[in-house]
Structure 1
């Protein structure tokens, strides 16, 4: 079963420390739409990692937990299609999220962020 893609969400695919979150925010590469704002940073690990920042502005505990479940599931299902970046996702909608909407937003924004991160890395390589 080594060739089969695994769709789990182990610790290796998560941002877990404050320093990891701070590094992503410090990179200042972000993209947003009507559903999500995603901050990203290249990680050099060969796979994507996810961090969540769901504030109380989104709603009560039930709504915040629903957002987190939808974001984790969208990431879990699309992890093999995402670029090797660290992502921190912030919900923008205050409505109830659906998996289809969150998944589409995550995939679209990840493509935009991959281009932005590559563009940001190019000028720094030529300066030396």
Structure 2
């Protein structure tokens, strides 16, 4: 793991096939700010994809949320570790800021890493669903 905080294109999840693979794994965790889908990455690095729906508002608002999510990952990538493909989906009503996204990202990825590493993964139940 390097000591820099860069976020090169190699760390972006860009292809539809990769998104489909992560979604089909059905390993997810969520809280009031984020919903994260995860799968083990076929490459060494951790890659992230973003999905911000039109429910968040116009393009300006959606792009701002994407920038915040990318920055949260960039700053906390060393806490997350390597070897995961993640899709980050912000919650509509959260109104989260950078610190909210950072703490949610680290907490939820640790939870997902445990689920993915355990032999019996019933990962279809999320934190939010358990609270209902």
TM-score when scaled to structure 2?
0.83
Contact 1:39 / 1:88 at 8 angstroms: preserved in 2?
Answer: yes
Which residue, 67, 71, 92 being the options, matches 1:69?
67
CA distance in 2, matches of 1:123, 1:101: 30
Q: Which residue of 2 aligns with 1:100?
A: 99
Following superposition, which runs of at least 4 residues in structure 1 exceed 2 angstroms of deviation?
44-47, 93-97
Aligned to 1:49: 47
User: Any conservation in 2 of the 1:34–1:93 contact (CA below 8 Å)?
Assistant: no
Aligned residue in 2 for 1:39: 37
Once residues 4 and 20 of structure 1 are traced to their aligned partners in structure 2, the CA distance between those partners, rounded to angstroms, is: 24
Q: RCO greater where, 1 or 2, for CA within 8 Å and sep 6 or more?
A: 2
Deviation at 1:46, TM superposition (A): 2.9
Structure 2, unpaired ranges of 5+: 122-132
The number of equivalent residue pairs is 120
**Unaligned stretches of 5+ in structure 1?**
none
Where 1:41 maps in the other structure, the secondary structure is strand
Deviation at residue 44 of structure 1 after TM alignment:
4.2
1:123 is displaced (CA, Å) by: 4.4
* Shift in alpha-carbon separation, 1:80–1:46, aligned structure 2, 3 A: farther
* TM-score, normalised via structure 1 length: 0.86
Q: What is aligned with 1:30? A: 28
Q: C-alpha distance in 1, partners of 2:60/2:93?
A: 12
Q: Distance in 2 between matches of 1:13 and 1:52?
A: 12
Cα RMSD of the aligned pairs, angstroms, is 1.8
Question: Which whole-Å deviations, capped at 9, do the CAs of 1:14-69 have from their partners, x for residues lacking one?
Answer: 10110011110011100000000000000143321110010001222122111100
